[in-house]
Structure 1
Amino acid sequence: MSQQLPSSTTHSVVDSYGPNTTATPLERPNPFESPSTSSANSWIEGPRQRDRESGRVEVAEIRNRYFRSRRIRKEDLESPKNLQSSRKRSIFQKQTWLIPCLGIFVGICITGVLIYFGLGSQHGGGKFCPILDEDFSSGVLSPDIWTIEQQVGGYGNGHFDQTTDDPDVVFVDGGLLHLKPGLQDQKLIETDGATIDLGSKCTGDTFFGCFAHTNVTNGTIVPPVRSARVNTRKGASIKYGRVEVTAKMPKGDWLWPAIWMLPTDDVYGTWPASGEIDIAETRGNNHSYNAGPGGGNDIVTSALHWGPESKMDSYLQTWDQLSALHSEFGDKFHTFGVEWTDKYIYTYVDSVLLQVLYVPFTQRFWDRGHYAASTANGTALMDPWSRTGRLNTPFDQKFYLILNVAVGGTNGYFKDSAGGKPWADASPVARKEFWQARDQWFPTWQKSGEMQVKSVKMWEKC
């Protein structure tokens, strides 16, 4: 029995040349079917039969509306290997990695040459001969070399510490020299009329450098802290040479550790006319302290102090600093050094490549300072250095080494109102204000509040 296909089996075919026509599924071609060889060019030459009246398009024409692909025989293809081998390239095209490697090699060579000549120029001061090599292995400080200073006057900076030779403050233990500040005897501070009289043990040369007392009525007290300061004036001083001190700086609020040098004789006058060489100074406060110059325990500074009188210290012209790398100088031991000749002076930390301060002696210090002809009160200023004719005067005399841990002070090294400072420099009772805040600062000293010195080495120009 014959059946008629349902109307759903017919489909509309859109023709751009006329109205919609219908085609059965058998008449519709598979668009993904590969054409036969005979129809390879049918997209150009294929029949286009159209019934203009009915709008019907033949199947052959529908097939021409689809993309046609043609298979290429394998033997007609060239392999990538054959194509690559057919190209003729130069050695630089084939070995392109040679060019960047050659550039890196040349750069390393140039850097090495610059470092070599740079170090050579800075070590051109001649031969240095050792005069001190102290590693503290003997367990004591040799009195022929070291002097333990004892004073109560604050050394002109208003320090709050009494320097002492007490064995719990300055001592050698485990191959290390320890300078460990601590609190003063509370009775001496709170008892009216209590005094400290160093007598013959005093290393100072003024009355108030050797004597202090407490007056409860007016609020003056003896130094609220005991600390240490030692020097090599008796046994080791140099005129041109090198000094290296391997030490761990103390950590604790308002501590002021320093490794520095003073002239053995004030040839050009009292400080700072005869000069001062600060190899390394820092503060015990942590990295959050940012009052300058310098900062907290994460920054070390070096400076030369010089000037015709005490109120004309021109150190800011010969001052610089170095920051620790993601650490503080109280975290581990560092070597703090200075090299000094008649041509230059420079300081460094751990290596001469980590330079802190470099000062070439290329002009007279009087000219460098640009001083006025007279002071504010009309007193004429005199050049204390011109008579030598040397560009490095006053840094042309023997200097000795000092190691100390000072505490506080009223000279501005710790800025008022910075970092929670508990005293004011201008206050007549600054020592008392500092003492009353001991519950704030003394706990910060407990873990690492001492300078530990592993070795001290000094060389002098031969």
Structure 2
Amino acid sequence: MYNHRQETANSSAAVTPVRAGTPDSDTITPVARINPFATPYGSMPASRTGSTTGLQLPEQRYFHSRRMKKGTVERPWMDRKDPKEKWVTIIPLLGIFFGLAITGVLIWDGLRTVVNHVYCPVLDEDFSGGLNSAVWTKEAEVGGFGNGQFEMTTTNDENVFVRDGQLYIKPTVQDPALIESNNVIDLLADGSCSSTLWSNCITGTNVTNGTIVNPVKSGRINTKAGATLQYGRVEVTAKLPAGDWMWPAIWMLPVDSKYGPWPRSGEIDIMESRGNNYTYQQGGNNIVSSALHWGPNSANDAWWRNNVKRKALHTTYSAGFHTFGLEWSEKYIFTYIDTRLLQVMYTQFDKPLWKLGQFPLSDSNGTRLQDPWSFTGRDNTPFDQEFYLILNVGVGGTNGWFKDGESNKPWVDSSKTARKDFWEAREQWEPTWEKDGQMIVKSVKIWQQQGYKGC
């Protein structure tokens, strides 16, 4: 029978060859060497080896573990403790305690500044009954609205209409016949002009000097006639347009310019964006921004003090509907997207806006600038009056909203022929308007804060 154990022992032993016999003999006799991993033979009694001569025979031994009884292992380190060792436990516990305390204070401080106001409904518009003329007014102008915009706004259904219970504000290309030959657009003649300024109501084409009428038609509507508020909330659920050089906006202006012409009486921009795609260097329809405008004159507008941008996450604002909101009180004003937790711009009225604006002592011609709001004694002036809502889609402009020299912009703001340069590049931008070149509004909701304006 094959002896596996003996074979294992023999194969485990190293072999050292020695010569046997006479010096001339070539016979080599291997001598076994003890396995260094086996139990030493010297530790085994002769009775265990089975030898009657007392010689220890080779035998493979294996290690056998056994459970140690509790208390049989000496632990000298337990007899004397290091006094510094307790801090290993105390310091982390102190860190947790102070961390929880600071967190609690911050939460308390945040909650005590939040006021859950009570509101009265002012407008709940879903456009199921069309565009209510008692609330909404279509504006018709050709002057560029102070920004040198290229569109003229119209009162017809081509640019502002309701379809399937949704409001559309859609820019369209101007009639080429009005641009390619001498012509005049006179909104005063038909009484449709919504401005009292002559320059906002009449424009024309002069083929000699390169002046043209507005190369685009679009829409702008407001709630001045039927829905205003002084402190409250606004929510507009809309899908923004996709189209190069479009300028969609949801914003507010004062009903009465109590503190003087723009921007002395303020402006609230809930949402502004651009129709260009996400590759546009300044941010296209994947980015929206909010801001307040206020200042002693148009050259000193403090909008940069609180202008904030919000980028869409892995999408664009033209890919689906979003709710653009505003919450406004005597103590603060903020804008948000979809939820009040996702704030965009936040301004706390904890000091006079004249100080917040950091205006210079004088303007460029040396005239000293005067604070037009301090006489009210309110920190939030001029944002303490009634405002109304505006929805529009502008196109182009010469005020820097589209920066010169970026993303193949086809005009220069300072050029006297900026409108014409834009028109001549229509083969570049017009195709981008075909699919989603309109702002679609699903609903508009306005609430008045209790305690103001009859609420």
* TM-score, with length taken from structure 2: 0.79
Which is worse superposed, 158-167 or 190-199?
190-199
Counterpart of 1:399 in structure 2 is 387
Q: What's the CA shift for 1:315?
A: 0.6
**Structure 2 residue 113 is matched with structure 1 residue 121:** yes
* Aligned mates of 1:180, 1:191 — CA distance in 2: 26
Question: Quick one: structure 1 residues 33 and 338, their matched pair in 2 at CA, closer, same or farther if it must change by over 3 Å?
Answer: closer
Q: What's the CA shift for 1:378?
A: 3.1
In structure 1, list runs of 5 or more residues that go unmatched.
Answer: 1-9, 15-19, 43-59, 87-102
Secondary structure in 2 aligned to 1:449? coil
**8 Å Cα contact 1:12-1:22 kept in structure 2:** no
For 2:315, which of 327, 338, 341 is the aligned residue? 327
For 2:332, which of 344, 350, 365 is the aligned residue? 344
Name the aligned partner's letter for residue 164 of structure 1: T
Q: Report the RMSD for the aligned CA atoms in angstroms.
A: 3.5
Q: What's the CA shift for 1:28?
A: 3.1
* Aligned mates of 2:124, 2:185 — CA distance in 1: 39
Q: What's the CA shift for 1:376?
A: 2.6
Q: What's the CA shift for 1:21?
A: 12
**8 Å Cα contact 1:11-1:23 kept in structure 2:** no
Superposed, 1:48-127 pairs within 5 Å as: 70-72=61-63, 77-78=65-66, 118=110, 121-122=113-114, 124=115, 126-127=117-118
Secondary structure in 1 aligned to 2:32? coil
* Aligned mates of 2:125, 2:392 — CA distance in 1: 17
Secondary structure in 1 aligned to 2:304? helix
Superposed, 1:297-316 pairs within 5 Å as: 297-316=285-304
Question: Quick one: structure 1 residues 24 and 448, their matched pair in 2 at CA, closer, same or farther if it must change by over 3 Å?
Answer: farther
Counterpart of 2:438 in structure 1 is 450
In structure 2, list runs of 5 or more residues that go unmatched.
Answer: 1-14, 46-54, 74-94, 451-455
Counterpart of 2:144 in structure 1 is 154
* Aligned mates of 2:27, 2:410 — CA distance in 1: 101
* Aligned mates of 2:62, 2:125 — CA distance in 1: 91
Superposed, 1:18-37 pairs within 5 Å as: 27-29=30-32
C-alpha offsets along residues 11-52 of structure 1, whole Å, 9 cap, x if unaligned?
Answer: 8449xxxxx99996764338679979966569xxxxxxxxxx
Secondary structure in 2 aligned to 1:154? coil
Superposed, 1:5-404 pairs within 5 Å as: 12-13=17-18, 27-29=30-32, 70-72=61-63, 77-78=65-66, 118=110, 121-122=113-114, 124=115, 126-138=117-129, 140-198=130-188, 199-291=190-282, 295-404=283-392
Question: Quick one: structure 1 residues 33 and 365, their matched pair in 2 at CA, closer, same or farther if it must change by over 3 Å?
Answer: closer
Q: What's the CA shift for 1:353?
A: 1.4
Question: Quick one: structure 1 residues 163 and 111, their matched pair in 2 at CA, closer, same or farther if it must change by over 3 Å?
Answer: farther
Q: What's the CA shift for 1:367?
A: 2.0
Question: Quick one: structure 1 residues 120 and 350, their matched pair in 2 at CA, closer, same or farther if it must change by over 3 Å?
Answer: farther
* Aligned mates of 1:389, 1:208 — CA distance in 2: 37
Question: Quick one: structure 1 residues 116 and 235, their matched pair in 2 at CA, closer, same or farther if it must change by over 3 Å?
Answer: farther
Q: What's the CA shift for 1:379?
A: 2.6
* Aligned mates of 2:304, 2:180 — CA distance in 1: 40
C-alpha offsets along residues 46-81 of structure 1, whole Å, 9 cap, x if unaligned?
Answer: xxxxxxxxxxxxxx9xx99xxx96335x6xx4369x
Name the aligned partner's letter for residue 396 of structure 1: D
Q: What's the CA shift for 1:458?
A: 0.5
Q: Percent identity?
A: 51
Counterpart of 1:5 in structure 2 is none
* Aligned mates of 2:111, 2:302 — CA distance in 1: 29
**Structure 2 residue 412 is matched with structure 1 residue 413:** no
**8 Å Cα contact 2:39-2:60 kept in structure 1:** no
- Tell me the number of residue pairs that the alignment of Structure 1 and Structure 2 aligns: 401
Question: Quick one: structure 1 residues 33 and 317, their matched pair in 2 at CA, closer, same or farther if it must change by over 3 Å?
Answer: closer
* Aligned mates of 2:60, 2:224 — CA distance in 1: 100
C-alpha offsets along residues 160-180 of structure 1, whole Å, 9 cap, x if unaligned?
Answer: 001112212111111211111
Q: What's the CA shift for 1:297?
A: 1.4
**8 Å Cα contact 2:151-2:215 kept in structure 1:** yes
**8 Å Cα contact 2:330-2:384 kept in structure 1:** yes
